[in-house]
Homo-oligomer: A and B are copies of this chain.
């Protein structure tokens, strides 16, 4: 069983998948769509093909933590996806993953245009990696109190 990570946009959805041990995340595909039902159908197929047990959806909340239209779109999409697949769907605040990626790319001297392309390609992977890191920590394998 695997975990699916999604970066949902208005026209495209980035898709990443974990290994069965839930340690690593890798990019799977980018779904282009005009009708949401198209995207839901493709995601349903992926869930069956890869024995997905849970779906993580990136939540593009505003910088101050409030929910704008993009966040509402993502939440509605997550609800539809939950109904369609019958799987548990969790939202994950994507401010930190996208912020760290941006900072890393700027430090690497990558141009603004290239950064946007990289973000599109990697966003779902980074969201899923973040979720896996959080899960690992919850299991007390990641953080140890030293004092």
Residues of A bordering B, CB below 8 Å:
57, 59, 65, 75, 78-79, 82, 88-93, 96-97, 99-101, 103-105, 107-110, 114-115, 118, 121-122, 125-126, 129-130, 132-134, 136-137, 141-147
Contacts and interface: CB of A to CB of B under 8 A. Distances in A.
12 contacts: A57-B146, A59-B144, A90-B146, A93-B141, A100-B129, A103-B125, A107-B118, A108-B110, A108-B115, A130-B133, A133-B134, A134-B134
Contact of A90 (B114, B126, B129, B143): B143
The interface residues of chain A, by DSSP majority, are classed as helix
Contacts of A144: 59, 90-91
Given A65-B141, A90-B145, A96-B132, 6 more contacts: A90-B143, A92-B143, A96-B129, A97-B100, A100-B100, A105-B105
